[in-house]
A and B are shown apart, each in its own frame.
Chain A
Amino acid sequence: MTIYGVALLAACTLLGVLLGDMLGAALGIDANVGGVGIAMVMLIAARLWLLRRGLLGEGVRFGIAFWGALYIPIVVAMAATQNVVGAVKAGPMVAVAAVGAVALCFGVVALMGRFGGPVETMDEAEARQLGEAAAEPAGTAP
């Protein structure tokens, strides 16, 4: 059932945000500490649990994948509601600080990628998984 997937996703998100708020309160800050991250970890755990018990049906998958697929349009809507005028108008100090911080961090990401040694790219991983999926039926045949 599709609604089970949507409900599972909603439950994970709610619980994550709640735990994030509680963590914030426990630490004495009026903010959510890592709520979305906690929710993501719970959803990953839930998927593994369902998968192991064979309960991960097409409907459940669809209920979650649908919202994942709407992610980019939601980000576009989010971009369309930013206070762009305010950020541009606030003056040179804001621009200097933001551009400096972003440029430095972009540079460090590039550096850390160079030092880490080779990693499988998303394209390679996808090709490998497709290859494995294709090889599997042949491998299990008597």
Chain B
Amino acid sequence: MIAQVLEAQGLLTAFAFIGLVMGLSAAVSRYLTFGRIHGSAIAVLAGLALAWAGGSMTGGTHGLADIPMLSGIGLMGGAMLRDFAIVATAFEVDVAKARAAGLYGALALALGLVLPFTVGVLVALAYGYTDAVSLTTIGAGAITYIVGPVTGAALGANSEVMAISIAIGVLKAILVMAGTPFLARVMGLDNSRSAMVFGGLMATTSGVSGGLAATDRRLVPYGALTATFSTGLGCLFGPSLLYLAVRALIGG
């Protein structure tokens, strides 16, 4: 009976459940780390841990959302509401500040495509992949888990390479989400310009928005703005320019 109600009112269950997670995380932050680790950072880590638990229990690929009672979390954390909330944060963007990042932002966008792509291609080479399509698809996955499969589909990569490409992108997003709050000080993430550079370089919108949210909420719109453009550029250049570059270097 209870399970039935919770499942039928999925989104409300998700609001209540995530509220509970946020509350517990705030308490852990205050009493166990004495405020040193931000409550949001703990909440994001808790979310990832719960996703692991959910995935292990059900054998599914959607973390907690594969548990029928908690399926509403899939809607709450899905693309529609995520994009809606990200766009809402743009309301706080200071136009003068966004403009000041100009050249740096553009440089970060370009580096955000080339650097992770190169790392991905080199690692794939080291693990014995030699054809340009597989190398490009795996390299594109190191940009984001959206760019990877889009590139792979456009180039006709096989499903094993696609899965690897997506997995690299997902792991990258997870690492950025979890690592950013701890390395924020080293990276100088305390102003709008570095947040825009960070967004452009990391490219993964979910990783950037999660990581910045856990660091300083005011930085989110600046990072998310460049990250979404980075992802878009990746989808554009992955199957075209980057593929042609790899083919020219590898020859095949």
Instruction: List residues of B (180-217) whose CB comes within 8 Å of A's CBs.
Output: 183, 186-194, 197-198, 201-202, 205-206, 209-210, 213-214, 216-217
B198–A109 contact, CB under 8 A? yes
Q: A33-B232, A108-B111 are in contact. Are A71 and B88 (CB under 8 A)?
A: yes
- Of the listed residues A70, A75, A108, the one surrounded by the most CB atoms of chain B closer than 10 A to its CB is A75
One digit per residue, 1 when the CB lies within 8 angstroms of any chain B CB and 0 when it does not, for chain A 11-48 equals: 01100110010011001011111111101110110011
Instruction: List residues of A (101-136) whose CB comes within 8 Å of B's CBs.
Output: 101-102, 104-106, 108-110, 112-114, 116, 119-123, 125-126
For A85, give the chain B residue with the smallest CB separation.
B55
A81–B73 contact, CB under 8 A? yes
Q: How large is the interface on A (under 10, 10 to 19, 20 to 34, 35 or more residues)?
A: 35 or more
Listed in ascending order, the chain B residues whose CB lies under 8 Å from chain A are: 14-15, 18-19, 21-22, 40, 43-44, 46-48, 50-52, 54-56, 61-65, 73-74, 76-78, 81-95, 97, 100, 104, 107-108, 111-112, 115-116, 119-120, 123-124, 127, 138, 141-142, 146, 150, 153-154, 163-164, 167-177, 179, 183, 186-194, 197-198, 201-202, 205-206, 209-210, 213-214, 216-221, 224-226, 228-229, 231-233, 235-236, 239
Residues of A near B233 (CB, < 8 A) are: 33-34
Complex alpha-carbon distance, A121 and B65, angstroms: 38
From B19, B51, B192, B202, contact of A105 by CB (8 A): B202
B90–A44 contact, CB under 8 A? yes
A97–B142 contact, CB under 8 A? yes
Instruction: List residues of A (41-76) whose CB comes within 8 Å of B's CBs.
Output: 41, 43-44, 47-48, 61, 64-68, 70-76
